[in-house]
Structure 1
């Protein structure tokens, strides 16, 4: 049995009840095609030839993109009206690349699953979306699309599982962890579980 460190569970993760299916949400980068994340690490392709699981299921789905965006034609002041400072994108990129090049894969997974708590991905999306800024995710419609995609993932997770399943390992891009943790907390049949107690501390 794998040793775990329960003290490493971050604040905000709920405690499962006996009737809930525990879903370990492991944030990762796109190992088969780096470059698909909002912040893209400079990584070689890494595909496991085989996973020691009874069954593997794909649950991601891209909904049809909206035909129009009513916010595009509005005269909107998209400037920041508060004293808000977000990390500089290129600096976050360099930090991720440097960490990956100096870490084992388990150490890097530990780091990005801790890094998710720093909110960079969501802060950037919500900052652009709420202000309707001229940049990626720069519209409330884009944020709604992001949530629809993740809600569909939770739906497909439910469809893919068997009635006797009580634990699921869910591998997703690290940017999905925060929203999926919220959605799985709200879905009464599921309880999200942090992977950090099962990963080697990256320091």
Structure 2
């Protein structure tokens, strides 16, 4: 028996020796090397909404809300701003539609008229822009095909998505609720910079993104998948495309301040894009 075992070990060793190691072959170029190595850099800062507008699926309890205009969070915002400024952006994009009149509001902010707005677009984006002498910001939010289809042809819309079970029980969502509760507590317990470093990791983004792929997504004989593609994924693809439009050359350094749900998908898009270099938030 011991000779059989010895023979197996010898065979395994010989196979390991002849197996080609492509990564060590100097004649084999990496996939990434075929693209330009100098690319526009993008820092996506996924955030929660400082003013708690209540528009997201997950609602924060009143007892867990923070006030970024009072201490200690006021000073923590300053530390967060100073950290993000290390990226030294040339352009700043925010989660806003054109009709929000971003740059009119920015003019008011620079006059001191909007300093007490809790919205992160003021407290982070406009503050950073002013301190770095950036004269304008870019609203890059976008609509989606699902909404446009509903407006144009509600009958076809119902045919395309009518089989989806919106009431289906989702065990993964129930599991994730404990994480949501923990995150809400951590906004109070952790310094904001530490909290932002945590929420902008790949693990956090994948956790967020993954919840779109369960529950109703799995129903309707593919209609759940079609709905996600034409609604949430399409919206984020359009946001990505809007950022492409404001990027002129490889020297651009684009700061994107946006809800973390969007940041989860944008990470995937930027990591795959041949046009951009994705900068990890905790690497500054």
TM-score normalized by structure 1? 0.70
- Larger Rg computed on CA atoms: 2
Residue 168 (structure 1) aligns with: 254
- Which of 26, 29, 40 is the matching residue for 2:48? 29
Given that residues 42 and 254 in structure 2 are in contact (C-alpha distance below 8 angstroms), is that contact kept between their aligned partners in structure 1?
Answer: yes
Which sections of structure 2, spanning at least 5 residues, go unmatched?
1-31, 68-117, 151-156
**Gap change, CA 1:165 and 1:57, over 3 Å in 2:** farther
Partner of 2:215: 128
- Matched residues in 1 for 2:201 and 2:250: separation? 31
TM-score by length of 2: 0.52
Q: For the Cα contact (< 8 Å) 1:116–1:174, is it kept in 2? A: no
Distance 2:191 2:172 in 1: 32
Q: How many residues align?
A: 177
CA RMSD of aligned residues (A): 3.3
Alignment of 1:1-203 (within 5 A): 18-41=37-60, 42-44=65-67, 45-46=118-119, 47-48=122-123, 50-51=127-128, 52-53=131-132, 54=134, 55-63=136-144, 65=147, 66-67=149-150, 68-69=157-158, 70-73=160-163, 85=172, 88-114=175-201, 116-117=203-204, 119-132=206-219, 139-144=224-229, 145-163=231-249, 165-198=251-284
Structure of greater relative contact order (alpha carbons < 8 Å, 6+ residues apart): 1
Contact kept in structure 1, 2:40 and 2:277, CA below 8 Å: yes
Asked whether the equivalents of residues 40 and 93 of structure 1 are also in contact (C-alpha less than 8 Å), the reply is no
Instruction: Give structure 1 stretches of 5+ with no counterpart.
Output: 1-13, 199-203
CA distance, structure 2, for counterparts of residue 168 and residue 179 of structure 1: 17
More helix by share: 2
User: Contact 1:29/1:37 (CA < 8 Å) preserved in 2?
Assistant: no
